[in-house]
Structure 1
């Protein structure tokens, strides 16, 4: 009989301790609060595809005037076909953009451009000004930041 009373007392103590620990756990995790913080839907790392979605959409938007040759959203590569500006048909440009990170960061974007000029009916490689590539990177990054701001506001 003594063993049974002692076992019952130990069981009650364990139950009371369990209730106290459970209550403390609820209070510590904030489950007792009525208002929870809202999730940041416009985080800088959006990865429903293989790369940052803001950079991906901004790149597609920035290059929308050029014909696309290849797109790989998992690998983060967009390659355009040759594009000749109707105002300057003797010159054409091809662009490759690589998104190399899942974060919205300037160093997550790589832009490479090729340029050719027409000479005697043949397309000949010509240098691309570094400022041209830099300007395209800036346009894409600005559009990506605008998309993120719009997602935060909306």
Structure 2
């Protein structure tokens, strides 16, 4: 009896993981899972607006710290690859200050704040990778 082929090729369509070779060819999620989880963990103090694990984008909603109610922040985290490296994470921080009443004006964000947030995410991602290796 002749083996019939599949519309999706010999291995079928693997959308939930499985064969490493298939994942390398692009059928899996295209971002580093440790960076993804670390970004969610690090930004968890802010309300989440949207998260796209396939595109690697996490967007928060506006957040005002209790200590400074006249300013608010919004962050976007971009996971740019599958490797756990410093160039695979980018964070954009937006800051506004109250201009009176319910009006807000854009304000400058210190570049050191962005770097500190990216470093915090990388540190958390490394912790998650170590924890994962220890649990196997």
Gaps of 5+ in 1: 1-44
Q: Does 1:76 align with 2:56?
A: yes
Cα deviation, residue 144, structure 1: 0.1
Q: What aligned pairs does 1:87-98 form with structure 2 within 5 A after superposition?
A: 87-98=67-78
Structure 2 matches for 1:11-26, cutoff 5 A?
A: none
What is the distance in 2 between the residues matched to 1:110 and 1:76?
A: 10
* SS of match in other structure, 1:98: strand
Aligned counterparts of 1:81 and 1:120: Cα–Cα separation in 2: 21
Please state which structure has a larger fraction of its residues in helix.
1
Alignment of 1:139-154 (within 5 A): 139-154=120-135
1:138 aligns with 2:119: yes
Whether 1:125 and 2:96 are equivalent positions in the alignment is: no
Q: 1:58 aligns with which of 38, 55, 67?
A: 38
Displacement over 6 Å in runs of 4+ = none
Hey, what's the Cα distance between the residues in 2 that align with 1:111 and 1:117? Answer: 20
Quote the offset at 1:69 in angstroms: 0.8
Aligned length: 109
Unpaired runs of at least 5, structure 2: 1-23
What root-mean-square deviation, in Å, do the aligned CA atoms of Structure 1 and Structure 2 show? 1.6
